[in-house]
Structure 1
Amino acid sequence: MANSTRDDDYNYMKIVDAMASINQRVNLIGIVTEASLPKHSNGTDYFCSIKLIDESRTSPGIAVTFFAETMEKLPHIESIGDIIILTRVTMKAHSSDVYATYLKKYSSFALFEGKHNSRNIVPYQASPNFRGREQDKPFVAKLRESQKIEADLNDLSPLKEMKEGEHINLLCKVLHVCEVTKDDWMLFVWDGTDTPPASIEAKLENEMEDPLPLQLEASPLSRDTLCTFPPVGTVLRMVTDRGNKKFGINFLKPNKWVKVVQVKCDVHAGLWRAVLMPSSMVYYLPNNDLILQRERSYNERVTSKFKRMPLSCFPGPSPITDTDYIDVPFVTLMNVLTHPEVTFKFNCVVRVVASFPWRVEDFCNPQGIYRVRLTLEDPTARIYAFLYAEDGVQFFGSHNTVDELMKKMNALLGITEGDGCRKATSRNPPWVQCCLKSYYIDKTDIWGSRNYRIFATTFVG
């Protein structure tokens, strides 16, 4: 196709015809079936890719790669199924793959809503050099009535199959995007399953000076944000490799399902995270059967009387603890954090990952009153919970020797007999049940001063 701005040159090619026009500039209109997150190229530009279909090629469609000086100038797809018009993109071939390249000097684009019932045929984003025409409107309207979109969902793993150090492809929902430091963003994703319990590498004697963090972000998320998270299933933190700021994480929209390709599974301070590597790609996805299956599984868990227990503790928690409320359904720590009442009582299945003080000889004050802070976790959150006074007596029993108390704590913390001096550098605590109650210590700031205590719980060995 000649490089001209005449109206005749704005005829749209079918994708199948364009794929036979290697090294030519063509105009395309199609439905977006995949859209990647913007990222920095190896040069000075930024790039992203989309996949589009039309009636001539409904699967797998054709890939289009975009280059621009800034991320803002790239197309930002609001929803899979939206419609894109492309002018003067160049068709390329590499081995058996044929794709289109958007060149910032010549090409232009416009994005339109793909909703079937939408009558709006004004682009929600367009490049500065795009020249719309009345003749475009019937094409957009026709594509809105087009066929169902199919996504490439091969080799996708749930969060429950994460293994430290491996690279996997994930199907997950974006819940929240947060700037943790200047120009450094963290992504919070979820798929309804639980990450597996990670080994705890921290030494107990470091708990005073360097305690295990309750979350990966430097400051805890607000309660309002936590209340938007599902109560069941791990909310996985996703970061970029070594502070690499080449990914446009801030352009991702919450409540969208995405496919993340080649993300590294990592454990930091006993907490799972996913690391976006230079080779990683993030794509928006349309609603599909696999997404619906994940959502159905979540709904089954959240409505079941006992399925809020961690998936990895099947068929049940360790019998080393018992509670006074055995018939009360279990809730997650996310349920605890987001409960609408400041003071309440809960039945949970957790792991004890740290204690302060770390020496059992220091668990009681000079008056013999228990004052112990335990760090509890489940797949949804970590919290501090206190064992105090009579609750500590019920939990540990009365008249314990130092050795007896140490054996009980070793069992809770996942320390084996041969570790000695309780300085183990790798622990895998068991899942145990306990009752928690929330309370406040400042009437003028009841939510800000909210704490948690273990009660009605006994170590039975």
Structure 2
Amino acid sequence: MNGSGSGSGSGSGSSRSRSCRGIIPIIEVVHHVDKKVNMIGVVVEFSLPRKSCGTDYVSTLKIVDESQQSPEFSVNIFTEKVQHLPVVKSHSDLVVLHNVMIKKHDGEVNAVFSKNFSSFALFDGKNSNDLSCYQALRSFSLSWREMNCIKNLRNWWPSAHIDSGKSEYLVSVKDISSDTYFDLVCKVLHASFDVSRGLWILFVWDGSDAPLLSLDGKLKDEEKNPLPLQVESFALDQDTLSKFYRVGTILRVMADKSHENLGLQFHGVGKWVRIRNVGAKVLSGMWYGALNSFSRVRLLADDDIIVVECKRKFQERRLELGRLPLWSIDDDLTVTDYNEMDNIQFGSLMDILSYEKDDSIFCCVVRVMAIHPFQAEDLHSSAERGEHEMRLTLEDPTARIHAYLLGKELVEFFNGFPPDLLDVKMKKLLGVPEHENLADDTNFTRHPPLVKCCIDSMKDNFGNTHYYVCHTWLK
């Protein structure tokens, strides 16, 4: 059987080094340090392709076989071109390695794949009679023994008891904390390249809500430097958003610039994965994850016990809370017409963003992250001039949007409160500490509470959608 290679040169079985004597089981490689060997294993984990400290590209595979499942064996692969690195497509796929050097470093034994003399081939891990590889580096031939090993591994794998890489660092999105590193089991919904930042972003979801964050700064900054609505430089199109879940945080996970080819070398979109060593970061009151050179990915089966547990928790959450966030609501601040009007439905901000029509009103549980203008005297003076307009930055666990209060809805929202009482209400709505002055020129921290409001949408003549707060009042 021959596999077409993605590189040049020869690495066929007929020209192997004499030091390679058949296939070495993982458990026996410790006896072959500083020798070249041939190996076959199931790929259970891999690092994302990145540049090495030199001119090469590097990726690390974690493999197992019937002889050893723990600890998983590391294979460090170095190639001249990123497209020559192995691209694992599915959970339980197999790798055949020829002429890899066994090394010992800091007491641990691993294999090193040389760009000069090693070769590999990747095979579908499903139990079938197909022995053709889907990727190979250099011309690649299988011996009869290697063919039998592939068949045996395919037969063995379904009954193998391999965990999902459990560790003390595994957390849910709802339990992340800033400036820490964690492992995350999640579904990868989308990947896109942020041209402005020059890096790739993965959009991942596990069904839970990220913790509420506070905001630092000045309210007056909203006029000239408004809060961003998303971590990425440009908003995703509605077609992409329509494929996202309507409940639960879609966490943006940014790859650093060493992973410049992530989008071309990653086949995890649409699949459940475990991402190891993700950094928890915050940008303008929004969570995001950060990949680094030590981050790794484990493709998971849909029936993996840890995936089944995530799905179960999400179903329980939906049955118990519906579209409500996991976090508590401050019912003392706003009141809506939600229970009195037939055309208002309860939803999340992601429901609104992905909704194609503009003839429905949604009642949402949100936080008011910013208001412009925010001072009572500005509001009253604009009302005297007949300029009834205010922009609110609203956020829930699924998204952040701008929504406007206009005309009658603006007047009714504040219910004719006098300036001194309006200041008090505004502080509560924005989560400003009582002792702080709204117009203070110093930075302060605020914690906006969750409140209910109704939101309508309307498209303009150019097809752009605008959002408006309606049927909502401050108590």
- Tell whether the structures are fold-level matches, with TM greater than 0.5: yes
Q: What's 2:429 paired with? A: 412
1:297-345 Cα offsets, whole Å, 9 max, x none, are 223334x3634222222xx444211212248774211111112422211
Distance 2:312 2:356 in 1: 25
Deviation at 1:125, TM superposition (A): 0.4
Unaligned runs of 5+ in 1: none
Distance 2:33 2:258 in 1: 35
1:164 partnered with 2:178 = yes
Distance 2:27 2:320 in 1: 53
Considering only aligned residues, what root-mean-square deviation do their CA atoms show, in Å? Answer: 2.4
1:130 partnered with 2:140 = yes
SS state at 1:411 partner: helix
User: What's the TM-score, normalizing by structure 1?
Assistant: 0.90
Q: What's 1:203 paired with? A: 218
The match for 1:427 among 446, 450, 469 is 446
1:216 partnered with 2:231 = yes
**Retained in 1: the 8 A contact 2:17–2:99?**
no
Distance 2:80 2:259 in 1: 13
Which residue type is aligned with residue 431 of structure 1? L
Q: What's 1:322 paired with? A: 335
Q: What's 1:140 paired with? A: 150
SS state at 2:468 partner: strand
Deviation at 1:162, TM superposition (A): 1.7
SS state at 1:231 partner: coil
User: What's the TM-score, normalizing by structure 2?
Assistant: 0.87
Q: What's 1:194 paired with? A: 209
Which residue type is aligned with residue 359 of structure 2? T
Q: What's 2:130 paired with? A: 120
Q: What's 1:437 paired with? A: 456
- Aligned pair in 2 of structure 1 residues 6, 412: CA closer, same or farther (>3 Å)? closer
Deviation at 1:140, TM superposition (A): 2.1
The match for 1:79 among 87, 90, 98 is 90
Distance 1:366 1:358 in 2: 16
Unaligned runs of 5+ in 2: 1-12
Deviation at 1:356, TM superposition (A): 1.3
What pairs up with 1:2-151 in 2 under 5 angstroms? 5=15, 9=20, 11-116=22-127, 118-133=128-143, 136-147=146-157, 148=160, 149-151=162-164
With 424-433 and 11-20 compared, the bigger mean Cα shift is at: 11-20
Deviation at 1:362, TM superposition (A): 2.7
Distance 2:121 2:87 in 1: 10
Distance 1:262 1:136 in 2: 34
Deviation at 1:135, TM superposition (A): 5.3
SS state at 2:350 partner: helix
Identical pairs, percent: 36
**Retained in 2: the 8 A contact 1:174–1:190?**
yes
Which residue type is aligned with residue 425 of structure 1? F
**Retained in 2: the 8 A contact 1:171–1:191?**
yes
- Aligned pair in 2 of structure 1 residues 36, 368: CA closer, same or farther (>3 Å)? same
**Retained in 1: the 8 A contact 2:369–2:430?**
yes
Which residue type is aligned with residue 437 of structure 2? G
- Aligned pair in 2 of structure 1 residues 175, 356: CA closer, same or farther (>3 Å)? same
Distance 1:430 1:174 in 2: 30
- Aligned pair in 2 of structure 1 residues 311, 181: CA closer, same or farther (>3 Å)? same
With 217-226 and 126-135 compared, the bigger mean Cα shift is at: 126-135
Distance 1:77 1:421 in 2: 54
Deviation at 1:133, TM superposition (A): 4.6
Distance 1:111 1:25 in 2: 19
Deviation at 1:49, TM superposition (A): 1.0
Which residue type is aligned with residue 140 of structure 1? I
Distance 1:99 1:438 in 2: 58
Count, aligned residues: 446
Distance 1:419 1:22 in 2: 67
With 53-62 and 131-140 compared, the bigger mean Cα shift is at: 131-140
Distance 1:14 1:201 in 2: 56
**Retained in 1: the 8 A contact 2:16–2:99?**
no
**Retained in 2: the 8 A contact 1:234–1:380?**
yes
Distance 1:319 1:145 in 2: 61
With 347-356 and 201-210 compared, the bigger mean Cα shift is at: 201-210
